[in-house]
A and B are shown apart, each in its own frame.
Chain A
């Protein structure tokens, strides 16, 4: 199966989660983000690219600098990803309850 790059793969990586936490408080340049990690600059660039591709980060040009900031809407999608699964079971169990009432 060919898995396309999605938000859930993006947040599976600890470095990328740390990047998201960093930019959650303020927009930062790639250089400022990289300064927080021991990993090589190109590695951080790759992480930023992945996070941008799946829309968790957005780029904003300010003068000559590109700032990365968090896409709050996409982050909400991530936190809500369990909801369809949960509501599926909730609906099923509601039905189970209704059906079994008649056997009482």
Chain B
């Protein structure tokens, strides 16, 4: 499949921009970010199952996520608060992985309709420092990912020390 996701990360800055166009109406793109069952489905992969422990999808709301391996062991937890929640337009939230040195990141999701059946997502992610951003970008394992779970455990174990 063609790779449609683009990432802009300027050297020496502490933010990134992720952009992606979808063959989906903006309403469905937004729903995929607002309903626990759907979030769990697309955030999971063969190595890690995503679970939405809690989600209060509204302004002044919050959420907690959990990722478990094939044996049901929790690999990591993350949580954040929701600053802005405008259906089909915008979500502003914080994101923090528990027990890691990565700090808190601010995420601004901008949902745009392109046509009746296509839409675009801009995700602006702002990190606490340039160092934290670069460290996280180099560790895609950190947010869920395509690595054997033993490898994730090894690295996650190191982070806790």
Contacts A81-B137, A82-B9, A85-B140 given; does A90 touch B42 at CB 8 Å: no
Q: Chain A contacts of B38 at CB under 8 A?
A: 99-100
Q: How far is the CA of A58 from the CA of B41 in the complex (A)?
A: 47
Q: Is B31 an interface residue (CB 8 A)?
A: yes
Interface size class of A (residues with CB under 8 A): 20 to 34
Q: How far is the CA of A89 from the CA of B23 in the complex (A)?
A: 16
- On whether the beta carbons of A95 and B134 are closer than 8 Å, the reply is no
Count contacts between A and B, CB distance < 8 Å.
76
Q: How far is the CA of A17 from the CA of B28 in the complex (A)?
A: 45
Q: How far is the CA of A84 from the CA of B141 in the complex (A)?
A: 9
Contacts A1-B101, A89-B5 given; does A84 touch B32 at CB 8 Å: no
Binds A, one of B61-69, B83-91, B142-150: B142-150
User: Closest A-chain residue to B22, C-beta based?
Assistant: A97
Q: Can you list, as one digit per residue, whether each of A73-104 has a CB less than 8 Å from chain B (1) or not (0)?
A: 00000000110111111111111110111011
Q: Chain A contacts of B1 at CB under 8 A?
A: 94
Q: Is A8 an interface residue (CB 8 A)?
A: yes
Q: Can you list, as one digit per residue, whether each of A8-22 has a CB less than 8 Å from chain B (1) or not (0)?
A: 100010000000000
Q: How far is the CA of A20 from the CA of B19 in the complex (A)?
A: 31
- On whether the beta carbons of A100 and B5 are closer than 8 Å, the reply is no
Contacts A97-B24, A100-B24 given; does A91 touch B4 at CB 8 Å: no
Within 8 A of A (CB), among B132-161: 134, 137-138, 140, 143-146, 158-159, 161
- On whether the beta carbons of B29 and A100 are closer than 8 Å, the reply is yes
Q: Is B3 an interface residue (CB 8 A)?
A: yes
- On whether the beta carbons of B140 and A100 are closer than 8 Å, the reply is no
Count chain A CB atoms within 10 A of each CB in B9, B25, B101, B138 and give the residue with the most.
Answer: B138
Within 8 A of A (CB), among B92-128: 101, 121
Contacts A88-B143, A89-B18 given; does A100 touch B137 at CB 8 Å: no
Indicate which residue in A82, A88, A93 contacts B4 across the interface (CB closer than 8 Å): A93
Q: Can you list, as one digit per residue, whether each of B1-38 has a CB less than 8 Å from chain A (1) or not (0)?
A: 10111110100000000101011110011011000001
- On whether the beta carbons of A92 and B42 are closer than 8 Å, the reply is yes
Q: How far is the CA of A84 from the CA of B147 in the complex (A)?
A: 11
A-B contact pairs, 7 of them (CB 8 A): A8-B138, A82-B137, A88-B143, A89-B5, A91-B45, A99-B41, A104-B25
A-B pairs, 9 with minimum CB distance = A90-B5, A96-B42, A88-B140, A100-B28, A84-B140, A95-B42, A86-B7, A85-B140, A90-B3
